[in-house]
Amino acid sequence: MKLLVTGGAGFIGSNFIHHMLEKYPDYEIVNFDKLTYAGNLENHKHIENNPHYTFVQGDITDLEKLNEVIEKYNIDYVINFAAETHVDRSIHGGCKDFVLTNTLGVQMILDAVKKNNIKKFVNVSTDEVYGSLELEDPSQFTEETPISPNMPYAAAKAGGDMMCNAYFVTHGVPVVVTHCSNNYGPYQFPEKLIPFFVFKLLAGENVPVYGDGLNVRDWIHVRDHASALDLLLHEGVAGEIYNIGSDNERNNMELTKMMLEILGFGEEKIEYVTDRPGHDRKYSIDASKIKKLGWKPVYTADKFRQGLEETINWYKENTAWVEGLRNKKKDEMNKFQDSLEHSKDKMKSNT
């Protein structure tokens, strides 16, 4: 297989590349990444000299560059991780980049896939496109659940998903769409909940919990997600959607208390903050469709604490990676935090 991985310098894309090269050492992998604030080539330091791995810097909205890379490396499979993903950024920092990357960028990849007769394209999306469930709602998101996004980020991702369906129906483009739950694991940019809380606690700071902290998410280890995508790349049916989750639903307060306990802190470290606008209450994934193909997670619900401890220890042990990322991205993070605080102050003044 000659595989193009777009967005392969980010959190999930990096872990996927590591998984693939470990399992299929003879596959040729080209990592195509724009290297925005969340892209980090340090994630691939240990494989940068691997003759089966190549990095090319580029933007998925650049169709000419996509075609050039696909033709140069004789690519026959494509998987897309490239996305603007942070919900708070889409709310407080403007959502233009989200629409450009998550919707237009996917359309550009589809055009490239169509032009170059790619055998299969997997577009990695999110369960957030389904909208929200109520806490007491026992139902789960299935592949037939209507798309009903509430966040600008999710709406932009839904736009990309719909383009995938349109290109499959109209042009027969061999695309598979995946909807996954919240990921955790190594190499995650520290704006996301778990590493964000870890770094704050290690610095002796409190951790902010939105609203009442009862919002529920299904958490999956990033390597389990990678193994699911590996299966779908090989056996997923074109035109189909597959949900990926591990039946590991936790509310934010439960997760926060577990992290506090692992790191040896008490609940006095919790700081309740104003809930973010339109905060989805609950996500719940029915992953029975992909499980029928033979996939199952290693880090099941009863092994979540183990996976969380391993993740926390990874961040504690990889201080050079953490500090390098902090220094490299400090200005970007500071700009975002300033924007976030300004938006919160405006919200408070309006209530």
Tokens of 123: 């577009």
Instruction: Write down the catalytic residue from 127, 161, 249, 280.
Output: 127
Q: Across the chain, where does the E strand assignment appear? A: 2-6, 28-33, 53-57, 77-80, 120-126, 175-180, 182-184, 207-210, 216-221, 241-244, 249-251, 270-273
* CA quadruple 143, 149, 155, 159: dihedral sign: positive
Instruction: Write down the catalytic residue from 153, 184, 299, 315.
Output: 153
Annotation says 77 is catalytic: no
Tokens of 88: 């708070």
Query: CB of 204 within 8 A of CB of 265?
Result: no
* CA quadruple 75, 76, 82, 83: dihedral sign: positive
Annotation says 127 is catalytic: yes
For 266-288, give one letter per residue: b (16+ CB within 10 A) or e. eeebbeeeeebeeebbbbbbbbe
Query: CB of 223 within 8 A of CB of 295?
Result: no
Residue 120, helix vs strand vs coil:
strand
Query: CB of 122 within 8 A of CB of 78?
Result: yes
What amino acid is encoded at 83 in this protein?
A
Annotation says 153 is catalytic: yes
The candidate with the shortest Cα–Cα distance to 199, out of 342, 321, 38, is 321
Instruction: Write down the catalytic residue from 84, 128, 224, 249.
Output: 128
Report the C-alpha gap between 62 and 252 in whole angstroms. 38
- Report, as residue numbers or ranges, the catalytic residues: 127-128, 153
